[in-house]
Amino acid sequence: MNCPLSRNGPELRDRQIIKLAIMAVGGQGGGVLIGWIESLARAQGFVCQATSVAGVSQRTGATIYYIEMMAAAEKQPVFALAPSAGDVDILIAAEMMEVGRAIMRGFVTPDRTLLIGSSHRALAVSEKAAPGDGIADAGEVVAAAEIAAQRFILADMDRLATAHGSVISASLFGALAGSGGLPFSRGAFEEAIRSGGKGVEASLRAFAAGYDVAEMGGTETDTAPEAPAQVIVGPQAQMTLWTALQMRVKELPEPVQQMALPGLVKVVDFQDCAYGAQYLERLEKVVARDTATQNWSLGIAGAKYIARAMTYDDIIRVADLKTRAPRLKRIREEMGAKDTNLVELTEFFHPRAEEIASLMPARMGARWEASPKRMALLNRMFKKGRRLRSHTLPSFLVLYFLSSLKGFRMKTRRHAVELAHLERWLTDSLALTKEDYGLAVEMLKNRRLIKGYSDTHARGLSKFAKVSGAVEMLRGRRDAADWMRRLREAALQDPEGKALDGALDTVRSFV
């Protein structure tokens, strides 16, 4: 094990050169930031040298910019062209995982590195593409940064910048100024932005926000918005029913309540209070088999997944959600539309024959589904996707009509299918409670696999069947619940279910 060369060793003579690296994602404006730092240093009588890598490898990929500077002397210093591990004074990382990458590459060391990072995430393709939750753990990076950096300033620099109508390079430049890492005054930093001449005012505002955060040591001044409170309104008769349902929830064990209330809201919102009562009936049956000694895991899983199963994604629900009043308001806000702007909406629908048949009355729908000829007819009719300009009346009325089919929903083919599936799943899962409590909980949780529309939904169903089907192999084993969980997680790794097949092979190998 070799000892790192310390910056403070008496025999070392490169103490005058300040070394600063920027790690960014292509397209984040790292070039602008390095340009500002360079013009700042030169204006302050420093000699400096900046380098970057331009070219195709920049496009949306991880990129690095590097600058070295020192107070001008009679002779010209020799600067390096790229950062070295263990030899960086200031590291600016414009994204959370780039903070991690900087640490991984050894550019952040406890003896010398001031680390300025943005906590926001620009997800990598590998994180986004997983059918489950593939998002990397920022907590691990923060923990590593606390150890690796001499000083660590972390804030959502992207939010700070966009809040002031600017981009992240400005807030990071502000944070660099506020950190005191460079021997230049705030005014000198601001002058560099002014001399750049583009979007100066917005940049200066974002700069100030970044400056303040860094000066405070990296804690953001404005706190996150409080969680919204739910307000429930409606006709008196229904409010009475709702209050009764709420009371029933209060009868449940405390930990289950916390999941049951949102579950109930979701189910009632999906259909009505009567449907909500059905939800609670099912849930109460689950809770009856549960005990406090198991931390009510079965009840909590039941509360969550029964609600999910009962609020399946049919055309009626989609049409309902698309035609609600708060939606347009939300969209206007998201798009940053001003009062004088109009917002026009286009919805992309592509129902298949299966979705159309599932809207029919249960027996009729079953007949149509069984007839290839009729399905072919539906397929011809709905071959092309529908684009609904939902801000116009004709399109809105189509959606409005579809949403009004809510009253008819309980009679549809889809409801019959979903209900049957729900009951089977619930019965099968609960049947295991006595024999293997943990396994029963995992069986309930397998419901997570069912999601999406059309083919995606079908694929989810088949994965659910595959995973849950493994129960016969696992029953009686002490680690059955653990394996069931592993199978489910494997199923969420890739769309084709390759990881799942591999995991199933493993299970088969030991049973």
Partner 1 sequence: MAERSFKAEVEHLRKGAGDVFTGEGILAITKALLENGVGYVGGYQGAPISHLMDVLSDAEELMAELGVRFEANASEAAAAAMLAASVHYPIRGAVTFKGPVGVNVASDALANLCSSGVKGGALIIVGEDYGEGSSIMQERSHAFAMKSQFWLLDPRPNLPSITKAVQDGFELSEASNTPVMLMVRIRSCHVTGSFTTRDNLVPPLTVKDAIANPESDFNRVVLPPMSYVHEQDKVKNRWPAAEKFIVENSLNEIFGPEKAKLGIVVQGGMYNGLIRALQRLGLADDFGETEVPIYCLNVTYPIIRDEFDRFCEGKDHVMVVEEGQPDHIEQQLGAFLFKAGRQLTLYGKDVLPMAGEYTGQVMLDGVTAFLKQAAPDLLPGQVRAPNREASQIPDLSKTVPVRPPGFCTGCPERPIFAGMKLVEQELGKHQITGDIGCHLFGALPPFEIGGATMGYGLGPAANAAFDGGGDRRAISMLGDGGFWHNGLSSSIGNMVFNKSDNVVVIVDNYYSAATGGQDVLSSRAENGTKSTGNPISAALKGVGVEWIRQIDHTYDVSKVRDTLNEALTTEFKGPKVIVASSECMLNKQRREKPVRTQMIKEGRRVDVPRFGVDADICTGDHACIRLSGCPSLSLKRLDDPLRDDPVAYIDQTCVGCGNCGEVADAAVLCPSFYRADVVHNPSAFESWRAGLRSRIITWLQARRSARCLQFEDVVP
Write out the binding residues for partner 1, residues 298-327 only, by CB under 8 A. Answer: 304, 307-308, 313, 318, 321-327
Residue 352's SS3 state is coil
Nearer to partner 1, 45 or 385 (CB): 385
In the sheet where 46-52 sits, what is the strand order?
46-52, 62-71, 18-25, 90-93, 114-118, 151-155
Interface with partner 1 includes 104 (CB under 8 A)?
yes
CA distances from 178 to 128, 168, 222 (A): 34, 15, 17
- Which of the stretches 53-61, 206-214, 359-367, 371-379 binds partner 1 when contact is defined by CB under 8 A? 53-61
Interface with partner 1 includes 86 (CB under 8 A)?
yes
Q: Which residues contact 134 (CB under 8 A, 6 or more apart)?
A: 126, 127, 128
Write out the binding residues for partner 1, residues 446-485 only, by CB under 8 A. Answer: 448, 451-456, 460
| CA dist., res. 34 & res. 55, Å (int) | 17
Write out the binding residues for partner 1, residues 341-380 only, by CB under 8 A. Answer: 341-350, 352
The one-letter amino acid at 222: D
Residues that bind partner 1 (rule: CB under 8 A) add up to a total of: 154
Q: DSSP label at 58?
A: G
- Which of the stretches 178-186, 222-230, 281-289, 369-377 binds partner 1 when contact is defined by CB under 8 A? 222-230
CA distances from 243 to 6, 233, 264, 317, 405 (A): 68, 11, 12, 24, 26
| CA dist., res. 180 & res. 111, Å (int) | 17
Interface with partner 1 includes 420 (CB under 8 A)?
no
Q: Please, are residues 274 and 310 in contact by the beta-carbon 8 Å criterion?
A: no
- Which of the stretches 70-78, 178-186, 370-378, 424-432 binds partner 1 when contact is defined by CB under 8 A? 70-78
Interface with partner 1 includes 76 (CB under 8 A)?
yes
Alpha carbon 339 to chain centroid, angstroms: 30
- Which of the stretches 62-70, 205-213, 278-286, 372-380 binds partner 1 when contact is defined by CB under 8 A? 62-70
Minimum Å distance from CB 433 to partner 1?
22
Write out the binding residues for partner 1, residues 108-137 only, by CB under 8 A. Answer: 108, 110, 121-133, 135-137
Nearer to partner 1, 308 or 411 (CB): 308
Q: Which of 262, 469, 476, 502 binds partner 1 (CB under 8 A)?
A: 262
Interface with partner 1 includes 335 (CB under 8 A)?
yes
Interface with partner 1 includes 242 (CB under 8 A)?
yes
Interface with partner 1 includes 144 (CB under 8 A)?
yes
Interface with partner 1 includes 385 (CB under 8 A)?
yes
| CA dist., res. 206 & res. 348, Å (int) | 37
Reading the block at residue 501, the tokens are 């097949």
Reading the block at residue 305, the tokens are 């997944």
Interface with partner 1 includes 274 (CB under 8 A)?
no
Burial, 460: exposed, middle or buried (Cβ in 10 Å; 0-12, 13-18, 19+)?
buried
Minimum Å distance from CB 290 to partner 1?
18
Nearer to partner 1, 132 or 253 (CB): 132
- Which of the stretches 23-31, 199-207, 289-297, 414-422 binds partner 1 when contact is defined by CB under 8 A? 23-31
